[in-house]
């Protein structure tokens, strides 16, 4: 029997799971890692294992891509026998991707307790698949580990008992703080031929890149921003395909936009740490920019991470070209307020999670031994 069965499947999961796996060993817990294969490209998956020092997965489900229904179903079917094989005391899921929900559904139906790392985040936009995933996962979980105090309030409003909720901080920030110096030392900007100040752009969310009008407007805005400051644009595979599908490759002036493939964790973190500002639709980048003190312009109508707006450097501007341009110019002029590091984003979230789960598991084991 394994104490913790930790599930990861998409790029942001790996950074969040890494500190939990490390801390589990120090807390005396055994653990196994299941990689669902939701992200299967080398630049979105394999490189993270090498750079984060993650162990090789104990099981790789290899589910690949598909519609939300197809992918979720494939993960559930492949995960079920692995769950029975490892027979864990607790199933640990992270984030809000399809892997998170799929494995939670299987674990709940098989009566295994679930620990959700990054619980309680809400953007209240049900057009986002992640909002559906995170809400359902929270209601299935026995342990809800939150990154900010507003997450607890969200969970309580939904009727989740307070004793199941614990504010621990942000495991993604654990990994960032451990990796920041090494990331900066790699000199990713120089290797891309970028010298001097630059801004960073990331786009990958379906609601932005799958809509031709929205994607065209965002790329037009990026083109105009690049006239003010060079723009580095690591191109997500999904976004790359949509640019070709919509015939946008020849419609944008790319002369001051440095386009590169998706980067490994350390190279991207190094780029972010040295950027003048970042334009993004990523939830994780909002958090990382806050801790690094980098002005962040979020290209979405809402955010499930309001702490990055309240305490950090983040502004949420939507996707209208004129709003994006105004926010980018304000960031370039450094008109935003300096951010603060949110409470408990101190590099110890994984330790708090491992300590709580170890106390619960060892108590149960002691009770079982006494009964025998």
Q: Which residues are catalytic?
A: 204
Q: Token match 């955010």: residue? A: 303
C-alpha distances (whole Å) from 224 to each of 111, 166, 254, 300 are: 54, 44, 10, 19
Q: Beta-carbon neighbour count of residue 300 at 10 Å?
A: 21
Q: Beta-carbon neighbour count of residue 217 at 10 Å?
A: 18
Structure tokens at 303: 């955010």
Q: Distance between CA atoms of 216 and 203, rounded to whole angstroms? A: 12
Name every residue whose Cβ is closer than 8 Å to that of residue 51 and which is 6 or more positions away in sequence. 179, 264, 265, 266
HSE-CB of 199 using CA atoms within 13 angstroms: 31
**Starting at the edge strand that comes first in sequence, how are the strands of the sheet with 31-35 ordered?**
59-60, 31-35, 4-8, 90-94, 114-119, 143-146, 165-167
Q: Beta-carbon neighbour count of residue 109 at 10 Å?
A: 12
């Amino acid at each position: 029997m394994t104490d913790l069965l930790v599930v990861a499947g998409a790029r942001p999961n790996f950074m969040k799971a890494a500190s939990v796996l490390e801390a589990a060993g120090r807390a005396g817990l055994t653990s196994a890692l299941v990689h669902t294969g939701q992200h299967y490209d080398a630049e979105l998956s394999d490189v993270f294992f090498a750079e984060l020092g993650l162990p090789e997965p104990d099981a790789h489900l290899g589910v690949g891509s598909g519609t939300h229904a197809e992918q979720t179903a494939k993960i559930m079917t492949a995960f079920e026998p692995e769950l029975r094989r490892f027979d864990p005391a607790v199933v640990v899921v992270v984030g809000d991707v399809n892997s998170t929900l799929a494995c939670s559904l299987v674990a709940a139906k098989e009566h295994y307790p679930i620990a959700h790392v990054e619980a309680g985040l809400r953007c209240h936009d049900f057009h986002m698949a992640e909002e559906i995933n995170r809400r359902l996962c929270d209601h299935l979980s026995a342990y809800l580990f939150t990154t900010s105090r507003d997450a607890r309030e969200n969970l309580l409003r939904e009727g989740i008992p307070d004793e199941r909720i614990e504010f621990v901080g942000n495991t993604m920030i654990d990994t960032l703080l451990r990796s920041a110096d090494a990331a900066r030392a790699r000199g990713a900007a120089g290797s891309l031929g970028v010298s001097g100040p630059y801004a960073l752009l990331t786009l990958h969310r379906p609601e932005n890149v799958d809509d031709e009008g929205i994607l065209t407007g965002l790329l037009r805005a990026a083109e105009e921003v690049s006239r003010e400051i060079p723009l580095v644009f690591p191109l997500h595979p999904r976004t790359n395909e949509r640019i070709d599908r919509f015939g946008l490759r020849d419609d944008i002036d790319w002369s001051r936009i440095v386009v590169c493939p998706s980067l490994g964790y350390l190279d991207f973190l190094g780029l972010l740490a040295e950027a003048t500002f970042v334009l993004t639709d990523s939830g994780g980048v909002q958090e990382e920019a806050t801790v690094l003190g980098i002005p962040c312009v979020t290209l979405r109508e809402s955010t499930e991470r309001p702490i990055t707006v309240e305490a950090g450097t983040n502004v949420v501007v939507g996707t209208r070209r004129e709003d994006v341009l105004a926010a980018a110019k304000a960031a370039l002029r450094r008109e935003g307020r300096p951010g603060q590091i949110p409470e408990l984003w101190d590099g110890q979230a994984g330790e708090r999670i491992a300590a709580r789960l170890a106390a619960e598991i060892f108590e149960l084991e002691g009770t079982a031994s006494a009964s025998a």
